[in-house]
């Protein structure tokens, strides 16, 4: 599940400025020269993951199955399965356990 405003971004750029700046080839009619390098890294999201509103998931990250990412988190590193993780940068808060289950009795009064 992806809540509103979630951003999945796979692209990155080099840290060295000479690799980011477009420099045309000499004596060439080509519109692009050296520089302007982009690096794309995949994002892997496991089954039954919930990513809450306005979270950012960066390229190269894997989020393990059944995990929950809290609202507004910035995920820059892998998140293991079956955990609640949140923050900037996103960190594991705790495992998800049976104590987190909403009991059916809760809904009987509705």
**Which pLDDT tens digit goes with each residue over 52-76?**
999 999 999 999 999 999 999 999 9
Domains in the chain, number: 1
Q: Is residue 51 part of a domain?
A: yes
Given 13, 23, 34, 65, which residue is catalytic? 13
pLDDT of residue 39: 87
20 inside domain: yes
CATH number at residue 76: 2.160.10.10
The residue ranges of the chain whose pLDDT is under 70 are 22-36, 105-110
> Is 22 a domain residue?
yes
Respond yes or no: is residue 5 known to be catalytic.
Answer: no
Question: Residue 66 burial (CB < 10 Å; 0-12/13-18/19+)?
Answer: middle
Q: Please tell me whether the overall predicted TM-score, pTM, comes out greater than 0.85 for this model.
A: no
Q: Tell the residue number behind the tokens 């990155």, with chain if given.
A: 12
Distance CA 98, CA 94 (A): 13
């Amino acid at each position: 599940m992806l809540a509103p405003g979630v951003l999945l971004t796979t692209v990155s750029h080099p840290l060295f400025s000479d690799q980011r700046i477009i420099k045309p080839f000499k004596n060439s009619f080509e519109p692009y020269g050296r520089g302007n390098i982009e690096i794309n890294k995949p994002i892997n999201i496991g089954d039954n993951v919930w990513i809450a509103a306005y979270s950012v998931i960066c390229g190269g990250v894997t989020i393990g199955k059944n995990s929950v990412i809290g609202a507004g988190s910035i995920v820059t590193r892998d998140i293991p399965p079956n955990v609640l993780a949140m923050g900037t940068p996103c960190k594991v808060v705790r495992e998800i356990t049976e104590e987190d289950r909403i009991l059916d009795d809760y809904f009987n009064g509705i």
